[in-house]
Amino acid sequence: MSRCSLSNKQDAFVLVIESAASVRSMLMDVLHGLGFAHVQAASSGKDALHFLEVENVDWLLTPLMADDEVNALHILKLITVHPKLRSTNCSLLLDPANEDYCLTQAFELGLLSWHRKSYVKDECLNDLQELFALLEMNDWDQTLTAAEYLRGHLVEKSLPKSRLALEHNLLAMYPGTPRLLVSAAEAEFLNGNQVVGNSLLHQAELIDGELGPHCSRVRQKFPMDTKAELTRPENVLGLKSVVVIDPDTDVLHATGEMLRAIGVKKIECFENGAKAFEWLKAAPEPDLILMEWRVPGLTGPALIQRIRQSISQQVPVIVVSSLIKKDEKPLLREMGIDDVLEKPFDHTSFYAAAIWTIQQNRSPTEEKSLERKIRRLLATGKIGEAERLIAQFTSDPRFQPASKKEIEAEYEFLRCHYQRALALSAEALKTGGGDSLMLLNLAGKCMLKLKQHQGALRCFEKAKEISPMNIERLIDLAEVNLHLDRVKEAKAQIDAAAALDAQNPELGQARAQCALQVGDLKQAASVMEGLDSVSRVVAYINNRAVSLILSGRFEEGIGLYKRAIQALPASASEVKAAVTYNLALGEARHGEYEKAKEVLKSLKNGPQVGVFKKALALAKRLDLCIEKGLPLFADQNSAAGELSIEGDGHQQYSGAAAPAVESAVQWQEILAKIEAKRGDFGCHLVFMSVENPDPKGAKLLEKMPHFVARSTIGRTEVLAKPERNT
């Protein structure tokens, strides 16, 4: 769903199509009377199309023009397929007696509204004022506004099946919205589904008690038999399963009852955080988690971090508590908590929180909701979907420039463009207005990747001052301190993380890193044997050893490689091979070519792919260097050739410079590749007529006109025909 661009009348651009000069003039006067500063007119659809090729139009008012070369449905179809026209809203001016046959197809193509064609200025003004009153009531949501006009048309034309399809698609977009529940109930009654209709009315009343009188009038309008009164709850929020965690059994019972009342069938309740986490690890991901912040076993600050690390970055979480301390609130933000519902609460506030959370998670419109959704998509590798929301976010004038740079920086970090991500983070911090905690943490991560350890330390420590309970950041601080040979400080950070959650899965890797650094092979091997993944440990060892070797501390770097090979479990054969290859390179950099060859022998018997193929090639180069007395590396300070094991387990060859990028994301190019999504244009992809449409409407879409988006260069000639009035 998207917000209509007509809320800012001073900046919005309006184009009127009308063949009669007197009517054109009247319509332009009406639009000026509504407060629009930029209004132009064209005498035909063809002329308007030339205009749309070079100008960005926010609102197009047009008659049907059924007999013209370019008609209104042609233009609506073009708006849905051409990225240049994505911001264009379209309203039809029709003679309802002869032209309303086209309306179902027009709404399928994203029509915003339709109005009776009038030649009286006051009538026209009143009609358009109603449109803006409706837009404002719907918070400038063009889908909900278009649905009001479409709903009225479907009722007038007695098309109950199409009405039912519309209402249920709207509920899927805006789950649990009370007035949509009432509209869906009416549609169910019209289609003879009394049980479902009455159930929807019951849920609307549960969510919004003030709707009781309206629901009663609907029931009076559609008298029900006795069976229909025995309602079964419809799942109005589309939630298949919900997990509730609270030590108060009364709260668990009340929450379960409220969830069942809106149709949730699978509700898992826990009084203990540790038991909840164990269940979550083994079960399918729930659709929503409701949790108290103070729970026994594994309390809120530790539990939410475990959930985000091990269960899901995506699942929406509502914290239901009045026990959150001031210094814990930043952690809620970092962990992507969707909402906080304070106790005690009633069913109205409970449903409001649940509806808002689910709606914003599925189709975010608010700044923080969009940021949260983008971060979740990036964290789970859904790049294409994330790029679409990033484009939406960065083009929205409501949001601050610093927040936009922050999101771009996170996108660049994911693409491994650490220098670019760091620059964007710095710009956002200087500008102000972004989330300083998130920016400091991101800058620290960029500097850690770029081996700027002193800078990373400063960023992480400042972020820790703001939010002291983030376990991942404490582990990052431990790693930075190890890079700076501050073992004591690293152990202190690990101890601080353990005090928050001694069994946190990330702690094992930090302990292994520290043990390898100080040469405690027994502890390192013991810890790594119990880890699900050793990729972060090996990534640290590789980066640390390369830094030591390139700074001339050969014995220390080579020793670190050897300890890692000894301590790695047998199950980590792939990463052990990569570390062995890097050990050979380390020996070669030290000038010990024969030792390097001995190390490589253990890799020659592997499959002739990946690291083993690289080992064979390196052995041949070493033989040639020994024979001819040549250096292996033209630049001994280059890290080219080392295999880098990143924290996600992927192997990459390091040393090659990343290609320069001119900007974080080429947003216009991304937008050009994006297909229209549900809610982008009114009811496009939300509504499809179930009853057979009038064939006259389909005929209007024959012989589609050609459309080519052009730059504004030379537009004086292109715009010769449209009339201008600003």
Q: pLDDT tens digits, residue range 183-194?
A: 999 999 999 998
**pLDDT tens-digit profile of 293-339?**
999 999 999 999 999 999 999 999 999 999 999 999 999 999 999 99
What tokens does 192 get? 């003879």
Check residue 300 and give its pLDDT. 95
Q: Which of 244, 237, 245 is nearest to 262 (CA)?
A: 237
> Range with the lowest mean pLDDT among 111-120, 281-290, 426-435?
426-435
Check residue 720 and give its pLDDT. 31
Rounded-to-integer distance, Cα 167 and Cα 177, Å: 11
Q: With 0-12 CB in 10 A as exposed, 13-18 as middle and 19+ as buried, what is 647?
A: middle
Q: CB–CB of 690/4 below 8 Å?
A: no
Check residue 507 and give its pLDDT. 93
Q: Give the other-Cβ count within 10 Å of 10's Cβ.
A: 8
Check residue 198 and give its pLDDT. 87
pLDDT (mean) for 456-465: 95
Residue 632 has phi, psi (to 5 degrees) of -75, -35
Check residue 637 and give its pLDDT. 54
Asked whether residue 721 carries a pLDDT value surpassing 60, the answer given is no
**pLDDT tens-digit profile of 398-441?**
788 899 999 999 999 999 999 999 999 999 888 776 789 999 99
Check residue 711 and give its pLDDT. 55
pLDDT (mean) for 530-543: 85
Q: Give the other-Cβ count within 10 Å of 499's Cβ.
A: 11
- DSSP letter for 161, please: H
Q: What is the dihedral of CA 464, 470, 476, 479, to 10 degrees?
A: 90
Rounded-to-integer distance, Cα 440 and Cα 459, Å: 5
Q: How confident is the model at residue 609 (pLDDT cuts 50, 70, 90)?
A: low
Kindly state the percentage of the chain with pLDDT values over 90. Answer: 61
Rounded-to-integer distance, Cα 606 and Cα 84, Å: 54
Asked whether residue 95 carries a pLDDT value surpassing 90, the answer given is yes
Check residue 661 and give its pLDDT. 33
Asked whether residue 467 carries a pLDDT value surpassing 70, the answer given is yes
H/E element, 339? strand 339-341
Check residue 571 and give its pLDDT. 86
What tokens does 210 get? 């003030």
Q: How confident is the model at residue 668 (pLDDT cuts 50, 70, 90)?
A: very low
Rounded-to-integer distance, Cα 38 and Cα 29, Å: 12
Asked whether residue 723 carries a pLDDT value surpassing 50, the answer given is no
DSSP secondary structure string for all residues of 463-480: HHHH-TT-HHHHHHHHHH
pLDDT averaged over every residue in the chain: 87
> Range with the lowest mean pLDDT among 83-97, 431-445, 548-562, 672-686?
672-686
Asked whether residue 656 carries a pLDDT value surpassing 50, the answer given is no
**Positions of E strands within 238-309:** 241-245, 266-270, 288-291
pLDDT (mean) for 668-677: 48
Domain ranges of the chain: 5-159+680-724, 241-363
Instruction: State the CATH architecture for 241-363.
Output: 3-Layer(aba) Sandwich (3.40)
Residue that has been written with the tokens 């976010």 in this structure: 393
Q: Hey, do 5-159+680-724 and 241-363 end up sharing a CATH topology, with the first three levels equal? A: yes
pLDDT (mean) for 84-112: 93
Q: Which of 66, 161, 139 is nearest to 106 (CA)?
A: 66
Check residue 636 and give its pLDDT. 52
Higher pLDDT among residues 133 and 430, named by residue: 133
Check residue 530 and give its pLDDT. 87
Check residue 3 and give its pLDDT. 64
**pLDDT tens-digit profile of 24-56?**
999 999 999 999 999 999 999 999 999 999 999
Check residue 605 and give its pLDDT. 63
Instruction: Mention the CATH class of domain 5-159+680-724.
Output: alpha beta
pLDDT (mean) for 68-72: 95
Asked whether residue 665 carries a pLDDT value surpassing 70, the answer given is no
Asked whether residue 453 carries a pLDDT value surpassing 70, the answer given is yes
Rounded-to-integer distance, Cα 642 and Cα 468, Å: 36
Peptide bond into 96 cis (omega under 30): no
Q: CB–CB of 348/166 below 8 Å?
A: no
> Range with the lowest mean pLDDT among 200-209, 499-508, 525-534, 600-609?
600-609
Check residue 635 and give its pLDDT. 59
> Range with the lowest mean pLDDT among 136-150, 199-213, 589-603, 657-671?
657-671
Check residue 539 and give its pLDDT. 86
Check residue 719 and give its pLDDT. 34
Q: How confident is the model at residue 237 (pLDDT cuts 50, 70, 90)?
A: confident
> Range with the lowest mean pLDDT among 41-50, 137-146, 220-229, 352-361?
220-229
Check residue 676 and give its pLDDT. 65
